[in-house]
Structure 1
Amino acid sequence: MTPSLSPTRNPRPTSIRSSLTWTTVAPPAALVVLALAWGREPGTVVALLLAVFLGAAVLAAVHHAEVVAHRVGEPYGSLVLAVAVTVIEVALIVTLVAAGGPETASLARDTVFAAVMITCNGILGLSLLLGALKHRVAVFNAEGTGAALATVATLATVCLVLPTFTTSRPGPEFSPPQLAFAATASLALYGLFVLTQTVRHRDFFLPVAADGSALPEDATDEHAEPPSGRRTLLSLGLLLVALVAVVGLAKVESPTIEAGVQALGFPASFVGVVIALLVLLPETLAAAKAARRGRLQTSINLAFGSAMASIGLTLPVIAVATIWLDGPLLLGLGSTQLVLLGLTVVVGTLTVVPGRATTLQGGVHLVLLAAFLFLAASP
C-alpha cells in the first residue's frame, strides 16, 4: 500500500522561504560585496554595481528601522532611525577627512549644514505637502515641534554660526577650548532634548487629532500587531549590518562621487551635500511614508530629530577626532549659508507656531531646499 504524503512536511520550508525576503538578504549581501571591493578603485561598471547594493542596503535599513520603531513605539522609533542615520554620517565624515587630509577641512561643516537644510526644509516640506494634500490642513503638536526647532536653531548657531565671528583663530575656526565647549554643549543639549522627548514630556511628540486635541496613546499605534521580540532583534541586527554596509560602500564609492562632482563642474564642497543626501535617504523615505499614513508628527520628529543628531552627535565625535586628524577644522558658515540658515529658522518658526500647515508652507520649505541645492552647485 502506497503511503500517503504527509501535509506537515511543507510548512518549515515555506516559513524559511517567507523569511528570506530581499530585506533580509540585502544587508549581508551588501556586506559581502563591500568585503570584495574594499581597498580597490572600482571602474564604471563596478561602481554602478556597488551603487545598486548601496541603494538596496539603504532601503533595507529603512525597513528594519521601521520594524524596530513599531516595536518600541513613538517617539522612540523616530529616535532609533535618527541615531542610526547619524552613525552613518559621522563614520563617513571621519573616514573621508582622515583619508583626504587638509583638503577636507570643511567637509564636516558642509555635510552637517547640508543635513540641516535637507531635514528642516526637504523632509519637513515634503511631509507637510503630503499631509496637507491628503487632509487639506496638516495638523501637528506645536509644543513639541517648537521645542525641537528651538533646539536645532541653538545647536546650529553655536556650532556653525559662531565660528565665523570668533577671533581666537584666523578664519571660520574654533580654538581648542571653544571647540571643546561647543562639543560639550551640543552633547548636553541633545541629551536634554532626548530626555524631554522620551520621558518628561513624551505627549508633546505624539500625533494629534484634526482639531488639535491630543489623541489617546493607544490611538497612535499602528493597526498591525507589533513584531515579536525575536523579529525585532533580527531586524536590529540586520539594521546594524545594513548601516555598516552603507558606510563602507559609500567610502568605496567616494572617489567616484568626487570625480562625478568635479566632472559636473560643481565646487568640492558639493561632496558634503551628496553625502548628506545619501545618508538622509532612509529618513526621507520613512518620513514620507508616515505623512501619507496621516502620522505627520512622526515625520516632523524624524526631520528635526535628524537635524539635532547631525549636529549634536557629529560635532563631539569630530572634536575628539581632531586629536589625531591633521589640518584645521573649518566650521563657520559663509555669508550665503548664513542667510539660508536664518531664513530657514524664521520660516520654520512661522510654520510651527500655529500647529497647522497647508500645502503653501510645504512648498515654501521645498523652495528653500531647492535654493540651497542650486547655490551649493553654483555659488
Structure 2
Amino acid sequence: MKTGTAPLAAQWTTWVPVVAVVALVLAWGRELPGFVVALVGLCLVGAVLAAVHHAEVVAHRAGEPFGSLVLAVAVTVIEVGLIVTLMAGGGDKASTYARDTVFAAVMITCNGIVGLCVLVGALRNRVVVFNAEGSGGALATVCTLATMTLVLPTFTTSQPGPEFTGAQLTFAAVASICLYGIFVAVQTVRHRDYFLPVERDGQEPAADEHAPLPTDRETAASLGLLVVALVAVVGNAKLVSPTIEGAVESAGLPTAVVGVVIALMVLAPETLAAVRAARRNRLQTSLNLAYGSAIASIGLTIPAIALASIWLSGPLVLGEDATHMVLLVLTAVVSALTVVPGRATLLQGGVHLALFAAFVFLSFSP
C-alpha cells in the first residue's frame, strides 16, 4: 500500500465508512423501502472498498503475517456477531445459519479466494511461488477444524440429527479455540518466516516494496477506520439480509443460500485485499488471508456459537449433508496438491474456481 496517496483518495476512505455507519444507525430497526435498501447496498460496497484500503495501510505498517491477521480476525469477530444476531431473531429456521455461513466461508476462502489469486498471479508471472511449510500447516488446520465441527456432528450418535450434545459441543469449542491459538502463535512468533512472501529469480518487485511506512498516527487512524468500516459492512449486510431472505424464499431456493450470500458480503474486504496482493506478486500474503480467514471463521465462530447456545432457543445444527462433505473432501485433496509443491499455475487456479462454482451452483440447486 503506497502512502502519500492523493488527497481525494484519502478523503473518501475517511468519510465513506462514517457515512455508512450513519446510514446504519438511521436505518436500524426500521422497515426499509426498496430505494433505501439500494442506498444501504451502496454504502456496503463503499465500506468494503474503504476497509481494504485501511487494512493495507495497517498491513504495510505491521508487516507480514501480522497485517493479514489483523483483517482476518477483525472480519471474523464481527461475522460472529452477525451470525448470533440472525440466529437470535430467526427462530428454528435459523438453526443452520452458523453451519451454512461457516461452510460457505471455508469454500469461499479455500477455493474462491485461493483460485482467483492463483489465477491473477499466474496470468502475470506464469508460475506463482509461496511457502509450502506455512501454507501447508494452515491448510491442515483448516481441514481439521472443518472436519471436527462440520462433519463429525453428522456421525455422532448421542444426539439425534446432525447435532452435538452439550459435552461434544463444549469439546469442539475448546479444541477449536486451542487450535486457533496455536496457529496464531506459530504464524506470528515461532515460525513467522514460514508465512513471509517468497520471491523467485526474475520476479518483479511488489509495488509497495519501497513505499515509506505509514506513521504511527496514520496507522492508528487507519486501524480505527478499519474497525468502523467493518462494523458498517456487517451492519449494512444485516440490514439487507431480510431482503435477501425474502428473495430467497420467494424464489423457492434453499435457506443455505442466505448463508452463502452473507459470507460473500462479509468476506468481500479480504477477497479484494488478497487479489491486490496477488497482483503485486505476493501470493503468500493472499494465502495467509485466505487460510487465516478460514481458520478464524471456524476457530472463533464455533466457540462463540457454543457460548451463545446457552441462551439461544432452538436447535443448533452443525453437521453437513453428503453433498457438502464430498465438496469438503475434494477441497482438502485439491488444496493439498496445490500447496505441497510451493508453486502453482493457471491450472490449479482453474481447478479451485471450478470447485467454488460447483459449491455455489449446488447451493442454489442442491
Q: Which of 60, 66, 69 does residue 50 from structure 2 map onto?
A: 60
User: In the TM superposition, what is the alpha-carbon distance from 1:131 to its structure 2 partner?
Assistant: 1.1
| Alpha-carbon separation, structure 1, partners of 2:341 and 2:237 | 40
CA contact (8 A) 1:140 1:355 kept: yes
Q: Distance in 1 between matches of 2:107 and 2:332?
A: 10
CA distance in structure 1 between the aligned counterparts of 2:327 and 2:341, rounded to whole angstroms: 22
Q: Which amino acid aligns with 2:359?
A: F
Q: Distance in 2 between matches of 1:298 and 1:100?
A: 37
C-alpha contact 2:206 2:280 (8 A) present in aligned 1:
no
Deviates more, 1:265-274 or 1:292-301: 265-274
**What does 1:98-113 correspond to in 2, within 5 Å?**
98-113=88-103
Counterpart among 251, 266, 273 of residue 264 in structure 1: 251
Distance 1:17 1:204, change over 3 A: closer
* C-alpha separation in 2, matches of 1:138 and 1:88: 32
Aligned equivalent of 1:277: 264
Q: Kindly indicate whether residue 226 of structure 2 is the aligned counterpart of residue 239 of structure 1.
A: yes
**How far apart, in 1, do the equivalents of 2:251 and 2:109 lie?**
25
Q: How does 1:137-286 map to 2 (within 5 A)?
A: 137-210=127-200, 222-286=209-273
Shift of 1:19: 8.1
After superposition, what is the alpha-carbon deviation per residue over 1:272-304, rounded to whole angstroms, capped at 9, x for unaligned? 000110111011100100000000100011110
CA distance in 2, matches of 1:19, 1:211: 34
Query: What SS class does the counterpart of residue 21 from structure 1 fall into?
Result: helix
- Note if contact 1:89-1:275 (Cα within 8 Å) is conserved in structure 2: no
The TM-score normalised by the length of structure 2 is 0.95
Alpha-carbon distance in 2 for matches of 1:292, 1:164: 40
- Counterpart pick for 1:124 among 87, 90, 114: 114
Confirm or deny: 8 A CA contact 1:70 1:222 kept in the other structure. no
Point out the structure with max Rg over C-alpha. Answer: 1
- C-alpha distance in 1, partners of 2:291/2:314? 31
SS in 2 for 1:222: coil
Query: 1:313 is paired with a residue of what secondary structure?
Result: helix
Partner of 2:78: 88
Residue 299 of structure 2 is aligned to residue 312 of structure 1:
yes
- Residue-pair matches, total: 360
Identical-pair percentage? 68
The whole-number CA distance in structure 1 between the counterparts of 2:104 and 2:201 is 34
SS of residue paired to 2:163:
coil
8 Å Cα contact 2:104-2:263 kept in structure 1: yes
1:42 counterpart (32, 35, 39): 32
What is the deviation of 1:262? Answer: 2.1
The separation in 1 between residues aligned to 2:161 and 2:270, in whole angstroms, is 33
Matched residue, 1:301:
288
Deviation at 1:265, TM superposition (A): 2.9
Asked if the contact 1:120/1:304 (under 8 Å) is kept, the reply is yes
Instruction: State the alpha-carbon separation in 2 of the partners of residues 342 and 329 from structure 1.
Output: 23
1:6 maps to what in 2? none
Match status 1:353 vs 2:343: no
Instruction: Please list every run of 5 or more consecutive structure 1 residues that lacks an aligned counterpart in the other structure.
Output: 1-14, 213-217
Q: Residues 288-345 of structure 1, C-alpha deviation per residue, up to 9 Å, x if partnerless?
A: 0000000010001111000101100110100000011001100001000000000000
Moved more, 176-185 or 57-66: 57-66
Q: Give unpaired runs (5+ residues) of structure 2.
A: none
Displacement of 1:58 in angstroms is 1.4
Q: Which amino acid aligns with 2:336?
A: T
SS at match of 1:272: helix
Do the aligned partners of residues 19 and 295 (structure 1) sit closer, same or farther apart at CA in structure 2, a change above 3 Å counting?
A: closer
**Mapping 1:327-366, distance limit 5 Å:** 327-366=314-353
SS in structure 1 at match of 2:145:
helix
C-alpha separation between the residues in 2 aligned to 1:211 and 1:141? Answer: 15
How many angstroms apart in 1 are the aligned matches of 2:347 and 2:52?
28
Alignment RMSD (CA, Å): 1.8
